[in-house]
Structure 1
Amino acid sequence: MSSPAATRAPRSRVAFFAVLQVAVTVGIFAILANAWGITPFIDAFRMLPWWSFPAAAVLGGLGVLTQALRWRVIAGHHDIVVSLGPAVARCWQAAFLNGVLPGGLAGDALRAADDSSDADVAAGRSALGRAFASMAAERLTGTAVAFGAAGLALLAVAPLFGVAALGVAALAVAIAWRWLRPLSRGELTQVVLLSAVGWAAFAALFTLTIGAVSPSVPLAWAPGLAAIAIAGMSVPLGFGGWGPREAAAAWAFSLAGLAPHLGVTASVSYGLLALASTLPGAVILALRALPRVNQARRARAERHSRQAAKHEPIEPAF
């Protein structure tokens, strides 16, 4: 049995990293605001057209669907069977939590640790480890595609950074390979294609955002700018992707000879649209949590009732 001190230590580390990630986001935003004022942030809210929100819902939903399909392929080889509906629900819930919690990984940790009855998991002490392995492999595959795309976009304008990004992509594949090895060649191809489609959905959303808030940017440049910003968002240092994404976008715009503050505006607008597209995940989270809350409330009421019965005085019989 673990001691209270041993239990508090991991919690304190988690709290420390959460505070650090929030501090990183606030620090980056402070640096950006000091450089260009708050106008880029105000423009991000002001310039978004109404039609960008339904477009974000479609593209965000496509990204969640491809992630769920990718996860199911990988999880199946780790003795975890999840049907498509629950897989989409879990991934949408994870996307929402990743967008509102530090680090951008908390939702995926919950997706792996969830012990609800919507998945068939082979029994055994390693069940939780296999769940996290399949989730990690799925996320690392997406990370590899994001940094691979950024590396290709950077090779022409910043070769050293391009090579570094491609190195990060290769490292992500190397780490994930131990969990991807059981997949057949066809399944590996399927996972890569699904990752590419998911990335394309988010890149299309960023491209749409650039066109909406920075119409002076040539459309042909938008996918490359989006690739660099999305890679920045994949670094788990900020709060829900905020911070590193804006810094990466400002840098990408400056490399292209564009005003960096336009990159900040486009990135903040993208963050708003991406967060709005995850709102179905908030509904799913509430629907999945409500039965458990009610069950816990009933269990607590029954426990109090039993405790009251034990202490109830016995009336004398005459």
Structure 2
Amino acid sequence: MMRQRPWFKLLLRWAATIIILALVIRYVDVSGILARLRTIPPSLVVLAIVVSVIQVVLSAWRWRYTAGRLGVSVPMTFAVREYYLATFLNQVLPGGVMVDVNRAWRHSRAQGQGAAERSEQLSAVHAVVLERLSGQLVLLPVVVLAVVVLWSSGAFSGQPLAAELSLSPVYWLLPPLLAGVGIWLLWVSGRLTSLRRYLGRLGGDLQRAFAGWRNGTVQLLTSLAVLGTYLTVFVLLALGMGLATDGTSLLLTAALCLLLLLAMVVPITVSGWGVREGAAALLWPAAGLPAEQGVAISIGYGALIFLASWPGALVFLKRA
């Protein structure tokens, strides 16, 4: 089987991003979205950027802690610097998880070239993998809980998702979203054979990083705190747009934004663009809300995270 060239994979992600965004823009009120974005006060933008700084520091500390459990030293200043660099590259390059692989590679280079050093290099790579896994292990059950709350509260009962899609032109977003997920699953399944070689070592590192009440508690609380910062940025944007006027609307918006975070995990576009907006255009009408509200929050989030990632650009220029 012919291997795909890296540039071809990058082109596919850019194409998926542009196509999905174009479909979203076609079927929503763009003027309404821009009007909502203009209502966000600068003070809330600054506060959201401060929250994003806390997010990076917490994530870097989680990486440092996970690496320490594997016997790999990661200085805190190095961890924060590299996390900012990875965040920035993830915003401008369609690299997805490869940005984190680059972070692991840059750290592992300092470990040397002997047999023992190569073992430490693998531990450095696993530290990045397990640090990201820690966040996903917390995100999934929280999202499931949000879906249960939404469903049981009747948020979707008045306008079931299937009925909403049958009445709205936004249903055209589903084919590219599903096709992208299918392509990604095929890409992953084609590499399962090579991944099996690492399962033994990875299992041991997984136990060292997560096993025991202390490790489990630290990973759980840290990942919950990181997830809380992501959700806080979404909520601040909703507040700035006047979309969370009371406790009920605030909780509904927060639950829907958790689903957006899950959608961003699917690595078929650049930094979640397109997938996030497409999911918002589907979820908000399903909850009886205008699609423009969800898309406005989604676009505002993407723009704000891009702005907050610019310290990573300074690291990149220094490295260059």
Q: TM-score, normalised by structure 2?
A: 0.75
CA distance in 2, matches of 1:109, 1:25: 22
Tell me if structure 1 keeps the 8 A contact 2:84–2:312.
Answer: yes
Q: Larger C-alpha radius of gyration, 1 or 2?
A: 1
The alignment status of 1:137 with 2:130, answered yes or no, reads yes
Identity %: 29
The alignment status of 1:254 with 2:247, answered yes or no, reads no
| Distance apart, 1:131 and its partner CA | 2.2
User: Which aligned pairs between 1:7-86 and structure 2 lie closer than 5 A?
Assistant: 12-43=4-35, 45-86=37-78
Tell me if structure 2 keeps the 8 A contact 1:80–1:120.
Answer: no
CA distance in 2, matches of 1:178, 1:35: 49
- Over 3 Å counting, the alpha-carbon distance change for 1:100 and 1:230 in structure 2 is same
CA distance in 2, matches of 1:137, 1:116: 15
1:213 aligned residue (241, 244, 253): 241
Gapped regions of structure 1 (runs ≥ 5):
1-8, 160-174, 291-318
Q: Secondary structure at the match of 2:117?
A: coil
CA distance in 2, matches of 1:140, 1:208: 26
Tell me if structure 2 keeps the 8 A contact 1:78–1:130.
Answer: yes
The alignment status of 1:197 with 2:225, answered yes or no, reads yes
Tell me if structure 2 keeps the 8 A contact 1:97–1:106.
Answer: no
CA distance in 1, matches of 2:316, 2:98: 13
Name the Cα RMSD after superposition: 2.6
| Distance apart, 1:94 and its partner CA | 0.7
- Over 3 Å counting, the alpha-carbon distance change for 1:178 and 1:229 in structure 2 is farther
| Distance apart, 1:151 and its partner CA | 1.5
Aligned to 1:125: 118
Residue range with higher mean Cα deviation, 214-223 or 88-97: 214-223
- Over 3 Å counting, the alpha-carbon distance change for 1:40 and 1:74 in structure 2 is farther
CA distance in 1, matches of 2:218, 2:133: 15
2:255 aligned residue (205, 214, 224): 224
Gapped regions of structure 2 (runs ≥ 5):
153-198
CA distance in 1, matches of 2:40, 2:222: 29
| Distance apart, 1:44 and its partner CA | 5.9
CA distance in 2, matches of 1:265, 1:90: 30
Tell me if structure 1 keeps the 8 A contact 2:108–2:120.
Answer: no
| Distance apart, 1:62 and its partner CA | 1.0
CA distance in 1, matches of 2:107, 2:53: 24
1:265 aligned residue (281, 296, 316): 296
Aligned to 1:88: 80
CA distance in 2, matches of 1:64, 1:276: 13
Deviations along 1:109-167, whole A, 9 cap, x unmatched?
221010588x66794334443222111111122122223222111124459xxxxxxxx
Aligned to 1:164: none
The alignment status of 1:244 with 2:237, answered yes or no, reads no
**One-letter identity of the residue aligned with 2:207:** R
- Over 3 Å counting, the alpha-carbon distance change for 1:203 and 1:24 in structure 2 is same
Q: TM-score, normalised by structure 1?
A: 0.75
Does 1 or 2 have the higher relative contact order (CA < 8 Å, sep 6+)?
Answer: 2
CA distance in 2, matches of 1:237, 1:187: 32
CA distance in 1, matches of 2:294, 2:203: 34
CA distance in 2, matches of 1:94, 1:44: 30
CA distance in 2, matches of 1:152, 1:133: 29
The alignment status of 1:181 with 2:181, answered yes or no, reads no
CA distance in 1, matches of 2:14, 2:99: 16
CA distance in 1, matches of 2:32, 2:271: 20
- Over 3 Å counting, the alpha-carbon distance change for 1:41 and 1:100 in structure 2 is farther
- Over 3 Å counting, the alpha-carbon distance change for 1:214 and 1:265 in structure 2 is farther
Aligned to 1:282: 313
CA distance in 2, matches of 1:214, 1:53: 14
CA distance in 2, matches of 1:263, 1:177: 39
| Distance apart, 1:179 and its partner CA | 3.4
Aligned to 1:149: 142
Tell me if structure 2 keeps the 8 A contact 1:93–1:281.
Answer: yes
Deviations along 1:6-38, whole A, 9 cap, x unmatched?
xxx76x432222212111111111111121143
- Over 3 Å counting, the alpha-carbon distance change for 1:270 and 1:177 in structure 2 is farther
**One-letter identity of the residue aligned with 1:39:** S
Q: Secondary structure at the match of 1:64?
A: helix
